Amino acid sequence: MTIKIENLSHSFGKIAALKDISTSIKPKSITVLIGPNAAGKSTLLRCIIGAIRPNSGKVLIDKMPAHKLSARVLAKCAAYVPQRPIVSAAFSVREVVELGRYVLPRNISKVDKALDQLDLTKLEDRAFQNLSVGQQQRVALARAFAQISVNGHLILDEPMSAMDLNYVYKCVDLLRAKAESGATVILALHDLSLAATIADNVLLLDNGKLILSGDVNEVMQPGHLTKVFGIELERVARAGGKDALLVK
Amino acid sequence: MSALTKRPLIALAILFIIALAVVVLRLLIDRPPGGELTLAWPEESYAKYRFTSAFVGVMIGASLAISGVLLQALLRNPLASPFILGLSSGAGLGVMIGMYLGYVFGIQFANDATGTAPAMVGAVFILLIVYLLGRRRGVLDPLSLVLVGVILSAMCGAGMMVLQYLVPDGLRGDLLIWMMGQIPQVLNNSQLIIVTTVCIAGLIVATIMGKAMDAATFSDDEARSIGLNLGPTRLAMFLLAGALAAVTVAIAGPIGFVGLIAPHAARLVVGPRHRILVIAAAAVGAILVVAADATSQAIDFGHGRLPVGVFTALIGGPAFIWLLRSGKGQV
């Protein structure tokens, strides 16, 4: 399953959110979108899931334009998690996760596994609306895990922004495992250190333009990031892992 | 079957038993003007009226409740009720125009066997305008729907006020009583067929749509990402809720609070899943309206029977405040 973005541009009124973006998402890997606020990260993710019909250009999912795919077809190949999940009914945690299978055959074991992976089994009867935002983000991730197939796409918009640090790194491990088993993970992050830790590939966006894309070690260079974020950074080598990014 | 799945079904069975009991009570209750309250099986000459009244009460209550469930899910708003879209005001304006035409030209619209026509025309006309103005990028937008509904309600209210100045006092009184809602004891066959067909079709379609309504409680992007075709689903919910509300308001006037309270009360007993919620809310709505109608028959202050909407408001108002304060009022 491939995702290709071709000359994608989109405006909200007079504000250009995306400007002529072209790139390919490497399958079975983790691609992270970084950039300052209003860089176009969320808009790009919404174009990928077909929620926005772009003004020009297109996102191709398995060679089909995303905005032309029916919701039913798209749900079978991609799951989406917004930064702030919303459920306006008093559903329990389990009921929300089960809705990930809305157009798919019922699969209790997959729902149970997703709940277990995100440490939600003890919370499964609690009302979603009564959880903290960080817990709600875990539920939304579990719902996405219950939905996607082994080689599906996970499209995540700041999915861990309100989680406790232990859960952030638990999710990092889970997403890594998903990518290694065949899933394509695309996520927007504002935490550059976390991005450097989790990403295989990075798309650096600024003011709606794709500034740079490629391997994490090529893109996450202090020189590139300073130009976009306006802050001095340095890479610090870590034993047995990827380099960390620190503010000077 | 686990205890968890059994509980809503038991609750549903209890609701149906209560509904049946209330219908029997409505059939038995009798209080002639100025007379004593009695409980007895009606004589043959009265039976038809009481059966009609009980049957129509069930249909109206169930329709209002189903419409409320649909709108609360569509608008993602626990305060939504069948009349939030301005249908009752549109129907009221229709009735007022009918009365005015009757007064000026001697045309009988509002008080004969086809008296539901002006209300129906008014409600459907408003529904059409709300549909046309309540969309963003081709899809019905919950916030736009509410705003358009509120504005149209105010405009229809102003139109009714203007017409009230133009008609004689007696007709003003008729409108006031119509605005509180009445369960009719006499309906012609076509009215009976319409109210029954719309209610039963509404119940079946809304139950089938239950899972889609569950999914529609997610944000737009999430709902679409799990496979919900949002545009057609919202349109179906809107049309169904509108048709149910339009028919009830045309037959019985705007009976308040039932469409607001019945879904919340049903949620307390069967939970938030819409497939079972629709059926439970229909039962609660039927109970509320038939019980209010029975109460209306039992109480006599010497000036004729009070409109049924008075009792639904008196029960529904405090119940709504309790829901609000207890934090149990969720979609």
The pair phi, psi for residue B186, each rounded to 5°, is -130, 125
pLDDT of amino acid B226: 96
B102 against A16, higher pLDDT: A16
Whether the pLDDT of residue A138 is over 70: the answer is yes
In chain B, what residues touch A95 (CB-CB under 8 Å)? 214, 272-273
Model pLDDT, residue B182: 84
- Whether the CB of B73 is below 8 Å from some CB of chain A: the reply is yes
pLDDT at B114: 42
Token duo for residue B226: 């799990």
**B35 vs B75, which has greater pLDDT?**
B75
Flag if A86 and B230 touch (Cβ within 8 Å): no
Q: Is residue B99 part of a domain?
A: yes
Residues 6+ apart with CB under 8 A from B70: B206, B213, B237, B240, B241, B244
pLDDT of residue B108 exceeding 90, the answer is no
Whether B227 contacts chain A with CB within 8 A: yes
- Cβ atoms of B76 and B85 closer than 8 Å: no
Measured between beta carbons, the chain B residues lying within 8 angstroms of A75 are 225-227
Check residue A127 and report its DSSP letter.
B
Return the residue in A61, A70, A99 with the most chain B beta carbons within 10 A, the one to mutate for interface testing.
Answer: A99
Which helix (H) or strand (E) covers residue A165, if one does? helix A165-180
Q: What's the whole-number mean pLDDT along residues A172-197?
A: 94
Q: Per the domain annotation, does B14 fall within a domain?
A: no
Bigger pLDDT: B192 vs B179: B192
Structural contact between residues A241 and A230, judged by C-beta atoms closer than 8 angstroms: no
This model of the complex carries an ipTM of 0.91
Lowest-pLDDT choice from B45-49, B58-62, B114-118, B272-276: B114-118
Instruction: Say what the pLDDT of residue B316 is.
Output: 83
CATH assignment at residue B213: 1.10.3470.10
Q: Please answer yes or no on whether B215 and A155 come within 8 Å at the CB atom.
A: no
In this predicted structure, what is the pLDDT of residue A9?
95
The answer to whether the Cβ–Cβ distance between A46 and B221 falls below 8 Å is yes
Substitution target in B225, B276, B278 with the highest count of A β-carbons within 10 Å is B225
DSSP alpha helix (H) spans, chain B: 3-28, 44-74, 87-105, 116-133, 142-166, 169-180, 189-208, 210-216, 220-225, 230-252, 258-270, 274-298, 308-326
A49, A51, A88: residue with CB nearest B217: A88
| CA distance, residue B112 to nearest chain A CA (Å) | 43
| Higher local confidence (pLDDT), B319 or B106 | B319
Say whether pLDDT at A176 is over 80: yes
Each residue's pLDDT tens digit, A149-162: 999 999 999 999 99
For range A13-39, the mean pLDDT: 94
Task: Please give the residue of chain A at the shortest CA–CA distance from B228.
Answer: A71
For residue B38, is it left (φ>0), alpha (ψ between -120 and 50) or beta? beta
- Determine the pLDDT at residue B192: 92
Q: Would you state the structure tokens that stand for residue A93, as one six-digit string?
A: 């945690």
Classify residue B33: in a domain, yes or no: no
Interacting residues of B307 by C-beta distance below 8 A, sequence separation 6+: B177, B180, B181, B182, B253, B296
pLDDT tens-digit readout, A43-74: 999 999 999 999 999 999 988 899 889 999 99
Q: What is the pLDDT of residue B161?
A: 85
Count CB pairs under 8 A between chains A and B: 86
Q: Do B222 and A80 touch (CB under 8 A)?
A: yes
Which residue in the block uniquely carries the two structure tokens 């028919």?
B247
Between A91 and B94, the higher pLDDT residue? A91
The pLDDT of residue A198 is 92
Least-confidence region, from B70-74, B145-149, B171-175, B217-221: B171-175
Residue B10 lies in a domain: no
Distance from CA of B222 to the nearest CA of A (A): 6
CA angle, B113 then B286 then B99, to 5°: 30
3-state secondary structure at position B84: coil
Any A CB within 8 A of B228 CB? yes
pLDDT value at residue A129: 93
Domain enclosing residue B83, as ranges: 46-326
Q: Cβ separation of B217 and A85 shorter than 8 Å?
A: no
B275-322: pLDDT as tens digits: 999 999 999 999 999 999 999 888 877 777 788 888 898 888 888 888
Residue B152 placed within a domain: yes
For residues A144 and B108, the model is more confident at A144
The dihedral sign for the CA sequence A218, A221, A223, A229: positive
- Report whether A75 contacts B222 (CB < 8 A): no
pLDDT at position B327 is 65
DSSP readout, B206-253?
A: HHHTHHHHHHHTB-HHHHHHTT--HHHHHHHHHHHHHHHHHHHHHHH-
Q: How far is A148 from chain B (nearest CA, A)?
A: 10
Number of domains in chain B: 1
Separation between Cα atoms, residue A51 and residue A41, nearest integer Å: 14
Instruction: Yes or no: say if B41 and B273 are a contact pair by the CB < 8 Å rule.
Output: no
Q: Search chain B and give the residue with CA nearest A146.
A: B226
Q: Are B152 and B227 in contact (CB under 8 A)?
A: no
Rounded to 5 degrees, what are φ and ψ at A38?
65, 25
Q: A102: which chain B residues are within 8 Å (Cβ-Cβ)?
A: 211, 214-215, 226-228
**Amino acid of residue B215:** A
Is B227 in contact with A74 (Cβ distance < 8 A)? yes
Residue B112's pLDDT is what? 45
Q: What percent of chain B has pLDDT over 90?
A: 44
For the four alpha carbons of A89, A94, A96 and A98, in that order, the dihedral sign comes to negative
| Whether the Cβ atoms of residue B58 and residue B248 lie closer than 8 Å to each other | no
Full set of structural domains in chain A with CATH: 3-247 (3.40.50.300)
Specify if B24 maps to a domain. no
Q: Give the minimum alpha-carbon distance from A68 to chain B in angstroms, rounded to a whole number.
A: 12
User: What is the pLDDT at residue A162?
Assistant: 92
- Kindly report the number of other CB atoms within 10 A of residue B101's CB atom: 15
**Would B134 be classed as within a structural domain?**
yes
Most confident of B37-41, B82-86, B213-217: B213-217
Whole-angstrom distance, CA of residue B157 vs CA of residue B139: 28
Is B29 contained in some domain? no
